[in-house]
Amino acid sequence: MGKCTNTGADQLAAGMPFNATKPLEYGEAAYTPHAGETQAPPDTVCHELSTNQGVPVADNQNSLKAGLRGPTLMEDFILREKITHFDHERIPERVVHARGSAAHGYFESYQDLSDITRAAPFAAVGKRTPVFVRFSTVAGERGSADTVRDVRGFAVKFYTEEGNWDLVGNNIPVFFIQDAMKFPDLIHAVKPEPNNGIPQAASAHDTFWDFASLSPEIAHMLLWHTSDRAIPRSYRMMQGFGVHTFRLVNAEGASVFCKFHWSPLAGTHALVWDEAVRLAGADPDYHRRDLWEAIEAGEFPAWELGLQIFTEEEAGRFPFDILDPTKIVPEEMVAVRTIGKLVLDRNPHNFFSETEQVAFCAAHVVPGIDFTNDPLLQGRLHSYIDTQLTRLGGPNFHEIPINTPLAQIHNNQRDGFHRQQINRGRVSYEPNSLAGGCPFQAGARGFVSVPEVSQGREVRGKPELFADHYAQAKLFWMSQSAIEQHHIIQAFRFELSRVRTPAVRSRTLSLLANIDARLVASVAEGLGMQVPPPLPPASDRPPYDYMPSPSLSLFARPGQLGIRTRRVALMVAPGADGALIGQLFASLEEAGAVPCLIGARIGQAAAADGAVLDVADSYESAPSVLWDGAIAIQGAGALAIEFIKLQYRHGKPILALGGAVELLKAAKIPRRLPQGLPDPGVIIVTPADVAEGLACFTSVLAQHRVHARETDPPRV
């Protein structure tokens, strides 16, 4: 292990200036100590404890007192500094997207896109750009649960040689509102009600649905919000979108419109609602832990970036307005062109310094990327920067290391709270001659806005096509599979059941009546209500009649990774077949899954052949919802029965070997689906046929779950 030195002289001898450390570069791997390791890692300098002024601290355990039992003295500046800093360690959380997780990585371009954009990340085949990516929920506070029903933020900071570009998007390609003017009202409505602070991280309450029922433009987003997209299985298994229409600009100044799509290599998979609710209690950090552990295990999450590119003339022929953030561009109209890959390969070293202090701003673009007149985007260009002034203490938040660009910064901005840069010389203005004219304007090399023609009177209002609130909501509904439609109905029932004002429920049903007759009838039936007349349309213009778009279903992207990173519970008990367990464990690990022995209690247990079984989790500490599938080898008791029941209820594959079939009988697990067909996810074999049984099990595990099991109410 490395030498641990304790003096400034030792530091200087090692080539390190006193009381200084070398910051890690973006992409540089951190040292990870091994289990049980207590010494300093190689080549690490171990510093003396000091105050913030560099004064060595002799005793960090006891305050200065007038006698051992006397009062603490005010002159104890070490105590006062330590306590004062602790008292001020919290900063205001984000108004939205407060609950987040993040990681470092890189973006690699598959193509040279210089014909359509001069943006640095797309300048050459194989070019890599460092990134920092933060995922988040929208409504909940910083300490809320990960698995609530909500939109997920998907924000990517590209550290390019021409400055930072923040692509600040979501896992859903549309939004609730069309104009930034309504954003404060939306967030006030969805946040906990101000009289009692309830509910936390949930939209299932009166104020949100009151706002929604009075805002028909929300119709399309409500379908996405009540779909399985709002309860993803993992951050690694959800799409990301730029939401708005942007412009790509090449070196000649020619521009095209663009929509950004991130698609996970692990496929798009979701939780079921009962599972999500139980996870919120069993592991509120489920998504955060999943992301962290995957990266630590070397299973680096990856997404491919796709672009929808179209011209102004093509946009003019669409049956919707590309400036409307409540609309998508269906892939049948404009295909998605895959142009690169995003890989996350390093966890943050410090959650607060990086994940909490990172500042994403929609206005941060680089040459080659430009904005459109989307009225929601235009408001975001101000809002993101404005909010950092309060959160991070002033205009110098770009000097916090996680926000600092790799490109050099040269300008005449000075002073302000938390200024880190020490500027030299007497010139802080431009033009100047005393500094030789520096820093000078970049001219054509710099950022140049697209010279878009603008005309018309100043007016408050919306274009006519913005008034078609239901056509794309119908498109999304008809493009879902039967089980996804069933989940949307269930979600509307749950959300509106929590609404206590009958008029709000009725107005929401009137909105749904414009989307689909079966949808509104099923929701109304679950609420014990009659279907009211539909809300009057906002325009006399006939709505566009879309054809279904298969790509809008989560099932369109099963993924490329098979069972890699899938968590499998091996249910064991003392006296189980040790050789069989070892065979299963090794086979699952070889396929990239994460197997774990689980039993009635943790610790060591004796196998039938005398081998020692290391039972890492118990049914109490790691309940069923934490596992993607279960293999029952030996087990009994109420907890094991409940565990296997929930595996079945949530559609997860179950492999029972030998005597473990009795556990399935005790849990009353049927072997046939409600439709009468054999259940492919309930597999019972003898130990002699374990290879065949495991192959069937992993095949179903790769498909995520057996949705055909679902009944209402559940069978077990």
CATH number of the domain enclosing 488: 1.20.1370.20
Looking only at the bridges linking them, the beta strands covering 163-170 and 629-632 are: unpaired
Question: What's the chain's average pLDDT?
Answer: 91
Report the C-alpha gap between 370 and 378 in whole angstroms.
12
The pLDDT assigned to 459 comes to 87
Whether 539 is covered by a domain: the verdict is: yes
Query: Are both 537 and 399 inside the same structural domain?
Result: no
Q: Tell me the HSE value of 239 on the side-chain side, using a 13 A CA sphere.
A: 24
Report the C-alpha gap between 514 and 470 in whole angstroms.
7
**Of 387, 403, 419, which closes a domain?**
403
439 by Cβ neighbours in 10 Å (0-12 / 13-18 / 19+) ranks as middle
CA nearest 375: which of 321, 331, 328, 333? 321
Which one is catalytic: 97, 225, 287, 487? 97
Report the C-alpha gap between 130 and 107 in whole angstroms.
6
Query: Are both 507 and 606 inside the same structural domain?
Result: no
Packed helices 517-527 and 502-512: angle between N→C axes, nearest 10 degrees = 160
- Using only C-alpha atoms, the chain has a radius of gyration, in whole angstroms, of 29
Phi-psi map region of 394: left, alpha, beta (phi>0 left; psi -120 to 50 alpha): left
Q: Where would I find the H helices in 21-155?
A: 77-87
CA nearest 97: which of 147, 149, 155, 156? 155
The token duo for 196 is 């009692």
Query: Are both 121 and 262 inside the same structural domain?
Result: yes
pLDDT 10s digits, 348-370: 999 999 999 999 999 999 999 99
Whether 393 is covered by a domain: the verdict is: yes
Whether 464 is covered by a domain: the verdict is: no
Q: Could you tell me if 632 and 663 are in contact, meaning their C-beta atoms sit under 8 angstroms apart?
A: yes
Contacts of 386 (CB under 8 A, 6+ apart): none
Whether 540 is covered by a domain: the verdict is: yes
CA nearest 314: which of 343, 296, 334? 334
Which one is catalytic: 164, 170, 347, 396? 170
| 264 has pLDDT over 50 | yes
Beta strands in 161-297 (DSSP E): 163-170, 240-241, 246-249, 255-264
Q: Within 10 A of 28 (CB to CB), how many other CB atoms are there?
A: 10
Task: Say which CATH number the domain at 619 has.
Answer: 3.40.50.880
pLDDT 10s digits, 209-219: 999 999 999 99
Whether 244 is covered by a domain: the verdict is: yes
Handedness of CA 514, 373, 151, 158 (dihedral sign): positive
pLDDT 10s digits, 378-388: 999 999 999 99
Question: Which amino acid makes up residue 369?
Answer: I
Report the C-alpha gap between 85 and 612 in whole angstroms.
49
Segment among 44-53, 425-434, 641-650, 694-703 with least mean pLDDT: 44-53
Report the C-alpha gap between 667 and 632 in whole angstroms.
12
Q: Is 170 a catalytic residue?
A: yes
**Of 403, 433, 455, which closes a domain?**
403
Q: Within 10 A of 418 (CB to CB), how many other CB atoms are there?
A: 12
Query: Are both 224 and 328 inside the same structural domain?
Result: yes
Report the C-alpha gap between 174 and 324 in whole angstroms.
9
The token duo for 568 is 């499998």
| 20 has pLDDT over 50 | no
| 36 has pLDDT over 60 | no
The count of structural domains within the chain is 3
Report the C-alpha gap between 419 and 413 in whole angstroms.
10
Query: Are both 515 and 384 inside the same structural domain?
Result: no
| 39 has pLDDT over 50 | no
Q: Where would I find the H helices in 297-407?
A: 312-316, 375-391
| 713 has pLDDT over 80 | no
Looking only at the bridges linking them, the beta strands covering 255-264 and 246-249 are: antiparallel
Q: pTM higher than 0.85 for the full model?
A: yes
The pLDDT assigned to 712 comes to 62
| 44 has pLDDT over 90 | no
Query: Are both 398 and 481 inside the same structural domain?
Result: no
User: Would you say how long the chain is, in residues?
Assistant: 716
The pLDDT assigned to 160 comes to 97
pLDDT 10s digits, 549-564: 999 999 999 999 999 9
Domain with 248, as residue range(s), is 100-188+218-403
Beta bridge partners of 630: 569, 654
Question: Which amino acid makes up residue 492?
Answer: F
Report the C-alpha gap between 312 and 154 in whole angstroms.
27
Q: Tell me the HSE value of 275 on the side-chain side, using a 13 A CA sphere.
A: 26
The pLDDT assigned to 2 comes to 35
| 624 has pLDDT over 70 | yes
Report the C-alpha gap between 524 and 110 in whole angstroms.
49
pLDDT 10s digits, 626-643: 999 999 998 778 999 999
- Sole residue written with tokens 């039938």: 608
* Residue 129 three-state SS: strand
Report the C-alpha gap between 479 and 164 in whole angstroms.
37
Beta bridge partners of 155: 134, 168
pLDDT tier for residue 6 given thresholds of 50, 70 and 90: very low
Question: What is the rounded average pLDDT of the residues 462-481?
Answer: 96
Q: Tell me the HSE value of 270 on the side-chain side, using a 13 A CA sphere.
A: 28
Q: Could you tell me if 505 and 496 are in contact, meaning their C-beta atoms sit under 8 angstroms apart?
A: yes
CA nearest 55: which of 36, 81, 31, 16? 81
Q: Is 97 a catalytic residue?
A: yes
509-537 exposure pattern, b = at least 16 Cβ within 10 A, e = fewer: bbbbbbbbeebbbbbbebbeeebbebbee
Q: Where would I find the H helices in 253-336?
A: 273-282, 286-296, 312-316
Question: What is the rounded average pLDDT of the residues 688-704?
Answer: 95
Whether 299 is covered by a domain: the verdict is: yes
Q: Could you tell me if 159 and 209 are in contact, meaning their C-beta atoms sit under 8 angstroms apart?
A: no
Rounded to whole angstroms, the maximal C-alpha distance in the chain is 89
pLDDT tier for residue 47 given thresholds of 50, 70 and 90: confident
Query: Are both 290 and 371 inside the same structural domain?
Result: yes
Query: Which H or E element spans position 187?
Result: helix 183-190
Segment among 13-22, 301-310, 547-556 with least mean pLDDT: 13-22
In the sheet that 594-599 helps form, which strands lie side by side, from edge to edge?
617-618, 594-599, 567-571, 629-632, 654-657, 682-685
pLDDT tier for residue 454 given thresholds of 50, 70 and 90: confident
**Of 556, 577, 605, which closes a domain?**
556
The pLDDT assigned to 275 comes to 97
Query: Which H or E element spans position 198?
Result: none
Query: Are both 354 and 483 inside the same structural domain?
Result: no
Phi-psi map region of 433: left, alpha, beta (phi>0 left; psi -120 to 50 alpha): alpha
CA nearest 702: which of 653, 654, 632, 646? 653
Handedness of CA 287, 290, 294, 297 (dihedral sign): positive
40 or 91: which carries more pLDDT confidence? 91
CA nearest 633: which of 585, 561, 703? 585
CA nearest 150: which of 326, 262, 342, 280? 280
The pLDDT assigned to 441 comes to 87
pLDDT tier for residue 666 given thresholds of 50, 70 and 90: very high
pLDDT tier for residue 3 given thresholds of 50, 70 and 90: very low
The pLDDT assigned to 714 comes to 61
Q: Where would I find the H helices in 50-131?
A: 77-87
| 34 has pLDDT over 50 | no
First to last CA, the chain: 55
Query: Which H or E element spans position 582?
Result: helix 578-590
Report the C-alpha gap between 616 and 596 in whole angstroms.
7
Query: Are both 223 and 307 inside the same structural domain?
Result: yes
Task: Say which CATH number the domain at 236 has.
Answer: 2.40.180.10
Beta bridge partners of 590: none
Whether 229 is covered by a domain: the verdict is: yes
| 41 has pLDDT over 70 | no
Q: Could you tell me if 711 and 576 are in contact, meaning their C-beta atoms sit under 8 angstroms apart?
A: no
| 254 has pLDDT over 90 | yes
| 423 has pLDDT over 70 | yes
Whether 34 is covered by a domain: the verdict is: no
551 by Cβ neighbours in 10 Å (0-12 / 13-18 / 19+) ranks as middle
Query: Are both 550 and 603 inside the same structural domain?
Result: no
Query: Are both 520 and 584 inside the same structural domain?
Result: no
Query: Are both 518 and 571 inside the same structural domain?
Result: no
| 9 has pLDDT over 80 | no
- Sole residue written with tokens 């005398």: 610
Report the C-alpha gap between 484 and 567 in whole angstroms.
24
| 1 has pLDDT over 70 | no
The pLDDT assigned to 43 comes to 52
Torsions phi, psi of 345, nearest 5?
-125, 5
The pLDDT assigned to 456 comes to 80
- Sole residue written with tokens 């798009």: 268
Report the C-alpha gap between 300 and 222 in whole angstroms.
32
